[in-house]
Amino acid sequence: MVFIHGFILREQFASGFLILPTKALDTEYIAVSYHRNETTDYWLPAFDVMALFDNTTVTIQTSVQDVRVLQRYEFFHYIPSDDEPLDITGIRLTATRPISLMAGHECSIIPGPTGKCDSLLKHIPPVSSLGHHFVLAPFLARSTGYLFRVIATASDTTQVTISGQTGERLLLSGEFLELNLATDEVVTVSADRPVMVTQYAKSDNADIGDGTMVIIPPTEAFSSNVTFPVPHLSEPSRIPGQEAFITIITACENTERAPFFLDNQPLNAQNASLLQTPDNDYCVIGTSVIPGPAHTVTHPTSDATFLVLVYDFTYAAGYGFVAGYNIRTAQDFDYEFLPTGNLCKRDLSQYTSLYMIYLVNKYHTEKKFLDS
């Protein structure tokens, strides 16, 4: 299995995201972001939609219905107008053929209203790939905890249960629940309908370093034997002596059978931290890692699945992303197509997967194509 990651790495501005294969893309999405900051309202939540096929009709459901027809590789950029809500989270997009959705925030302060901002750019998984059960764990080297949101995607009411919280929460389609957790708090989220879960590190008004957003895969989509890059943030703004970090989330039965390995070195009490969910079903292993182009997390047993979060923070930048996502293949569309124009130097029709990377910022969008 191949995983591809995209990054925006500039001094005082960073973001990282997992890039989804075209065969995982589909026709229905829920946008996610964070709210527009009143003190920096020139930075906005936004999303970009791209069509994979000609004559794709895309419907965006906000306070009004916006319908557009896109041709192959055509895209449009959406930002809320002044009279629309301060947050795009929960906006539903549907299409007649598969589309790709990049969403987030140009520069968000979490939770705001003051502090330094950073980009929140993610490749959004389709509703068809979402799940019912999630585990959330704190970011290492953070002193004020973290935030997370649960976003309902079903057309009817979704019932959500969070460990450590009294009672159940009911959410309508597009509604979300936001909670603030402590630095050592691990929770599970269960829902009777598919939901999307996003986790946020706080910005420098609440903690050291800029904030970030991570889309958390459900436990049903955990993967195994993951290889990933760890980007190096600019040295002038680094916190002295700090490395990047990874968090591994897995069923505790896996840690009981054998240790996990980072770059062929076992993780144990001497070089990693260990937390558990309240029911002791899931374990969380955290450790530091030196930035570099390729690190690997493995487990000796072939059936062990797990989630790896990769993240780093400096005084003026921060990023976070999932290293792998065992995402479901979407419905049966014909993806064996060749990009038009001079987009690559060799024929891609021989490959079964085509990956799209968007390098997006406020002023420029560039499309690149990679094969696997």
Measure the N-to-C terminal CA separation of the chain; round to a whole number of Å.
9
User: Which of 177, 179, 178, 190 is closest to 279 using CA atoms?
Assistant: 190
> pLDDT-derived band of residue 14, with 50, 70 and 90 as boundaries?
confident
Whether the CB-CB separation of 43 and 108 falls below 8 Å is answered with yes
pLDDT digits (tens, 9 = 90+) for 44-83: 888 999 999 999 999 998 878 899 999 999 988 998 877 6
Q: Among residues of the chain, what percentage have pLDDT more than 90?
A: 54
pLDDT digits (tens, 9 = 90+) for 296-309: 999 999 999 999 99
Range in 110-114, 148-152, 348-352 with the lowest mean pLDDT:
348-352
Asked if the model's pLDDT at residue 236 lies above 80, the reply is no
Asked if the model's pLDDT at residue 242 lies above 80, the reply is no
> pLDDT-derived band of residue 233, with 50, 70 and 90 as boundaries?
confident
User: Which of 116, 103, 105, 40 is closest to 314 using CA atoms?
Assistant: 116
Could you check whether the bond before residue 113 is cis, i.e. omega within 30 degrees of 0? yes
Quote the pLDDT of residue 347.
36
Can you read off the two tokens belonging to residue 165?
């919280």
Could you check whether the bond before residue 291 is cis, i.e. omega within 30 degrees of 0? no
Q: Helices (H) and strands (E) in the chain — how many of each?
A: 1, 27
Asked if the model's pLDDT at residue 123 lies above 80, the reply is yes
10-14, 246-250, 343-347 — which one is most confidently predicted on average? 246-250
- Mean per-residue pLDDT of the chain: 83
| CA pair distance 211, 108, nearest whole angstrom | 8
Can you read off the two tokens belonging to residue 326?
């065992």
The reported pTM is 0.86
Residues 6+ apart with CB under 8 A from 228: 3, 5, 294, 295, 296, 297, 308, 310, 323, 324
Give the residue-averaged pLDDT of 284-292.
93
pLDDT digits (tens, 9 = 90+) for 77-115: 998 877 676 788 999 999 999 999 999 887 777 777 666
- Tell me the chain's radius of gyration from C-alpha atoms: 20
Range in 17-26, 220-229, 362-371 with the lowest mean pLDDT:
362-371
Amino acid (1-letter code) at residue 289: V
Residue 204, Ramachandran bin (φ over 0: left; ψ between -120 and 50: alpha; else beta) = alpha
Quote the pLDDT of residue 200.
92
